[in-house]
Every structure is written in structure tokens, then in C-alpha cells.
């Protein structure tokens, strides 16, 4: 599949400021959802702003849909919609007029049928004549998305879409993104919340100090670094945990009916087959067995906790980012 976004050796040195991006390369395929994680000041907004043509890079190239963002910026920008971090709406304007206005700014001809479709998909159609100041926070964010989609872009950037919003609103945003995914929109979002990246993204990138530390499919990332927790439910409760099991790191639940065992999916032998054989040898009858994959947050924390395991790219520079991103 061809990359819809191709970033090659991008760097940005702000005048009298820091090197906000340092030799960043990445490709994003059409229809993908990519989450960019990193602490404050990592360079996420700078990266998005360059791709969107709002900030001029110091070096490197960016192609959007095959168009160079510097030499062919008009064609590149048409493909992009940006939902900014801050809510910026004209308070006295109606929802429909705000969206129409943005479409006009992109030089797209009026198309109320399309805008109706966008507003309906964002559950805003019955608010089309309301002034934006009358809307709830969640609705205002959805209006920002409608504005970003008003000129039918293929790519949508969401800069911290759920910063400072409550849990219900966050889930609502996730549903909106899921709908956009079904519509085939390519989405790049920045977030501080690992949970959010885990919920939505196909691939996850981690940025810190202007460097892209990793960019991997979410499932691969979790499979590669993930730990699993095995729960063995016993037919009969145990009086106490047998010493041989305690030595192997097993735990016994308070109700003494379940054994817990953490294992690493990276190791060649997880020891589970042997463990189950040993339980049989001890005369323990197993009622059920289940496993749980660790969350991305746990994956990152395990990266943070194992300083000697990783190569230089994921070395100490990564750890503060991951730590802060999980805070
Ligand atoms: N216009 C600017 N002039 C000078 N320095 C800037 C400018 N914009 C950003 N920076 C600096 O560049 C670095 C990267 O900032 P950027 O906003 O890209 O980070 P971020 O990862 O998006 O952070 P946040 O999560 O806080 O939005 C920071 O040190 C920031 O202070």
C-alpha cells in the first residue's frame, strides 16, 4: 500500500529555541490510525504543524498524497483536516454556518448535502441552527471535527482530542474516531493517554526530545514487550500455597481458589505446560484457565523498568517520555 504521508529526515530548529524535531522519518498508510505519544514539549505538535503546512521545517521533506508540502502545498493541504487542541469557534455563529465557512476557506464549492452528512455522522444535525456558544463541551469538540472534515480531507489530525475532558466525553470521542475509521479517513492523533492510544491506534509512535523513538503496530508492540497473567481456577480451595509453587512465583488468591502466574511472552519458554503438569502431579484439579494480556501502560512501565534490555534507540532518552506519558 502506498504511504499517504511520507516524512523523510525531518528536522526543526526554532529560532532562539530548541531543536524541536531531529531527523524524523515515518510513513503512514491510507486508512491507518496512528497515535503519537510523548510528554509535553516532545515535538508532537511541531511534527503535525509541519505536515499541515503551518510551520516551516529546517530540513527534510514531507509528501502528502504524493505532493511535496513545500512545492505543491495547495494540493497537499486539500487532503488534510486539522482539529486543534484549543476550542476555537465563533461563539455567535451557528453550527452549520461555521462549517460552511471553513469549507469556503479551503476554496471548496458549497455542498450542503455533504455538510449535512458530516453533521449527521457527528450527531450534530439537530444543532445545526444553534449558536456554537450554546453547545456543551463535547458538542463543541465535535463541531471542530466537522469543520476539519468540511472540505472532504483524506487525512485528519487530532491534536490531543481529549485533553482535559471527562471520561464520558473521551469515550464519545473514541466512538467518533471509530466511525471515521469506518469511513476510511486516515487519522493521526497526539495524546498523553496511553489508554487512548491502546483503544484507537493501529500503530503507536513515541516521540521525545524531537526524536521518534519507536513506531510500531500496537499489537506487535504489546506482543513484543507484553507480559501475560495466567489465572488457574481450582476445583477445590487450597489450605495453603504449596512451597514448590510459591518458589516459582505463583500467588494464591484470598479465596484460595485461584492461582496467579505472571509470565513473559518474549521468553522462549513460558513454562505454562510444565506448570500445568506439576499441578496435576500435586493432585490439584484445574477447573478453568485464563490469560490476560498486559495493557499498553504496563508494557511501557516494563520498558521503563528494564534498563539493560533495549538498544540505544529505546534507551534512557525514551524512559522519561514513557514515564511521563504514563503519569
Ligand atoms: N514557535 C515556537 N518557537 C520556539 N520554540 C517552540 C515553538 N513552538 C514550540 N517550541 C518548542 O519546541 C519544543 C517542541 O514543542 P511541541 O509543541 O512540538 O511539543 P509537543 O510534543 O506538542 O508538546 P505538548 O504535549 O505540550 O503539546 C518545545 O520545547 C517547545 O517549547
pLDDT value at position 213?
Answer: 85
Strand positions, DSSP E, the chain: 3-13, 19-29, 33-37, 59-64, 67-68, 80-83, 155-159, 186-191, 203-208, 211-217, 227-234, 251-252, 258-264, 286-293
Equal CATH topology for 3-222 and 227-293: no
Report ipTM for this prediction: 0.96
What is the pLDDT, as a whole number, of residue 297?
65
Q: Among 16, 45, 212, which residue has the most ligand 1 atoms within 8 Å of its CB, making it the best to mutate?
A: 45
Q: Which atom of ligand 1 sits closest to the CA of residue 207?
A: 21
Average pLDDT over residues 51-76: 94
Mean pLDDT value of segment 176-193: 88
The DSSP code for 7 is E
The CATH T-level fold of domain 3-222 is Rossmann fold (3.40.50)
Query: Options 3.30.70, 1.25.40, 1.10.20, 2.40.390; which CATH number does 227-293 get?
Result: 3.30.70
Structural domain boundaries in the chain: 3-222, 227-293
Whole-number Å distance between alpha carbons of 85 and 54: 14
37 CA distance to ligand 1 middle (Å)? 14
Return the residue whose CA atom lies nearest to atom 25 of ligand 1.
Answer: 40
Ligand 1: residue of 15, 16, 35, 43 to mutate (most ligand atoms within 8 A of CB) is: 43
Q: Please determine, for residue 198, whether its predicted confidence score (pLDDT) is greater than 80.
A: yes
Task: Give the pLDDT of residue 296.
Answer: 66
Task: Tell me if 90 sits within 8 A of 100, measured CB to CB.
Answer: no
pLDDT tens column, 148-164: 999 999 999 998 887 76
| pTM of the predicted protein model | 0.73
pLDDT (mean) for 207-213: 87
pLDDT value of residue 300:
60
Q: Residue 301: what pLDDT?
A: 59
Confidence of residue 295 (pLDDT cuts 50, 70, 90): low
Question: In b/e form, how buried is each residue of 17-50, taking b as 16+ CB within 10 angstroms?
Answer: eeebbbebebebeebbbbbbbbbeebbbbbbbbb
Q: Is the pLDDT of residue 56 over 90?
A: yes
Using a 6 Å CB cutoff, which residues line ligand 1?
Answer: 14, 17-18, 20, 38, 40-46
Can you give the pLDDT at residue 266? 65
Task: Give the percent of the chain with pLDDT over 70.
Answer: 87
Amino acid at each position: 500500500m502506498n504511504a499517504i504521508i511520507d516524512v523523510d529526515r525531518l528536522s526543526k530548529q526554532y529560532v532562539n529555541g530548541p531543536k524541536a524535531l531531529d531527523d524524523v522519518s515515518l510513513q503512514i498508510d491510507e486508512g491507518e490510525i496512528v497515535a503519537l505519544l510523548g510528554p509535553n514539549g516532545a515535538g508532537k505538535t511541531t511534527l503535525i504543524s509541519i505536515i499541515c503546512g503551518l510551520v516551516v521545517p529546517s530540513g527534510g521533506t514531507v509528501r502528502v498524497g504524493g505532493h511535496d508540502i513545500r512545492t505543491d502545498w495547495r494540493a497537499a493541504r486539500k487532503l488534510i483536516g486539522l482539529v486543534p487542541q484549543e476550542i476555537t469557534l465563533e461563539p455567535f455563529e451557528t453550527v452549520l454556518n461555521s462549517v460552511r465557512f471553513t469549507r469556503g476557506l479551503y476554496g471548496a464549492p458549497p455542498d450542503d448535502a455533504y455538510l449535512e452528512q458530516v453533521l449527521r455522522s457527528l450527531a450534530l444535525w439537530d444543532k445545526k441552527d444553534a449558536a456554537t456558544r450554546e453547545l456543551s463541551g463535547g458538542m463543541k469538540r465535535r463541531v471542530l471535527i466537522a469543520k476539519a472534515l468540511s472540505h472532504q480531507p483524506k487525512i485528519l489530525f487530532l491534536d490531543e482530542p481529549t485533553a482535559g475532558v471527562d471520561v464520558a466525553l473521551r469515550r464519545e470521542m473514541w466512538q467518533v474516531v471509530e466511525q471515521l475509521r469506518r469511513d476510511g479517513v486516515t487519522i493521526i492523533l497526539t495524546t498523553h493517554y496511553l489508554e487512548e492510544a491502546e483503544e484507537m491506534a493501529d500503530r503507536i509512535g513515541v516521540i521525545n526530545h524531537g526524536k521518534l523513538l519507536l513506531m510500531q503496530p500496537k499489537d506487535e508492540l504489546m506482543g513484543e514487550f507484553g507480559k501475560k497473567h495466567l489465572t488457574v481456577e481450582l476445583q477445590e480451595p487450597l489450605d495453603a500455597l504449596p512451597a514448590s509453587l510459591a518458589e516459582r512465583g505463583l500467588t494464591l488468591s484470598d479465596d484460595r481458589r485461584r492461582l496467579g502466574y505472571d509470565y513473559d511472552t518474549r521468553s522462549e519458554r513460558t513454562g505454562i505446560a510444565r506448570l500445568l503438569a506439576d499441578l496435576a502431579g500435586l493432585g490439584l484439579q484445574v477447573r478453568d484457565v485464563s490469560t490476560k494480556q498486559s495493557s499498553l501502560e504496563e508494557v511501557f512501565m516494563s520498558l521503563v523498568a528494564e534498563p539493560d534490555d533495549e538498544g540505544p534507540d529505546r534507551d534512557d532518552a525514551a524512559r522519561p517520555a514513557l514515564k511521563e506519558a504514563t503519569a
